[in-house]
Structure 1
């Protein structure tokens, strides 16, 4: 998976597996901890089983420790677990997290405050543009790109396969810059047509090789 290849090398041994002493840490959210714990506890066993890892929460230090439990645990499994913790922290639901566990799914995070500054009014305005009236802008971007988007706590999270998540991120960046919604949608639709053409070409090339 393209989004994690570089960080895989830091964790893996020569066989491409994680050394048993390796641990990865994820930060707990400082606010809305009760929501996090509720969602985390409801999916913890699924995460550990699917990713072959062990999760321990240290509430005193606001950390989640991720450890390998099998010789088959890969660096991708460890980093996927960290992404899952981040997704729960942002506010994604259990159902959304299940999608993130798919091998081809990635999590992208946009920090609104880092892009627009500390002004509460400006942040509120930008978040409103991303969500849209009755949630229509967010839903439209999700439908065009085939991704799952969560907006909250000055953050936007995107779950989807790499190409589609990047396109959704681009659309949200354009909205942050102040581009008109209709202009953004047209741009995303054009980018998605290119992705579908590339996917179709790849399928036919694989058939020709058989």
Structure 2
């Protein structure tokens, strides 16, 4: 059995209308979810395929960190999909610095976050003090590197150029491991 903590304001999303989202996760990931809506604790017990059961905590974590349930469930599509969470707060000196870095990651009118998605094919969600990524390993790697560049203070133009170069490599099938 595994335990995941979900923010209070995301419990309803995880449960879904009449429990529909919870049931869909349970059925597709072959797990049983025990959600404590008082404290946000979710116990995950595998009742079927253990490999699917190992993916379930990431699905729950992704929903908890702002992803739509249908996006989180893409983690079950194939073994190439992965979920990664970057703690913006860990890269910040204080609350003001964290807000500034979060703003840089979002970009004006959400443009930076959108470009990360468009140019990599990954889903990117910024929620609270975290940035979540769902995608294939290569896509997640490129987004992670772009995020690190922004958090380290790189100009947006340099990050956009990096993303465009990696987009061309991804679409042409080049190896993107040397980021």
TM-score above 0.5: yes
Q: Is the 8 A contact 1:164 1:192 kept in 2?
A: no
1:40 correspondence with 2:14: yes
Gap change, CA 1:56 and 1:199, over 3 Å in 2: farther
- The CA deviation at 1:167 is 0.6
1:161 correspondence with 2:155: no
Greater Cα radius of gyration, structure 1 or 2: 1
- The CA deviation at 1:63 is 2.1
* Separation in structure 1 between the aligned mates of residue 76 and residue 12 of structure 2, nearest angstrom: 18
* Separation in structure 2 between the aligned mates of residue 47 and residue 174 of structure 1, nearest angstrom: 34
1:79 correspondence with 2:57: no
TM-score, normalised by the number of residues in structure 1: 0.74
Matched pairs, number: 170
What is the aligned-residue RMSD (CA, Å)? 1.9
- The CA deviation at 1:69 is 1.5
- Secondary structure of the equivalent of 2:77? coil
* Separation in structure 2 between the aligned mates of residue 49 and residue 199 of structure 1, nearest angstrom: 37
Where does 1:35-74 land on structure 2 (aligned, <5 Å)? 35-42=9-16, 43-59=21-37, 62-70=40-48, 73-74=49-50
Gap change, CA 1:66 and 1:153, over 3 Å in 2: same
State the match for 1:111 in structure 2.
87
Structure 1 regions of 5+ residues with no counterpart? 1-22, 201-210
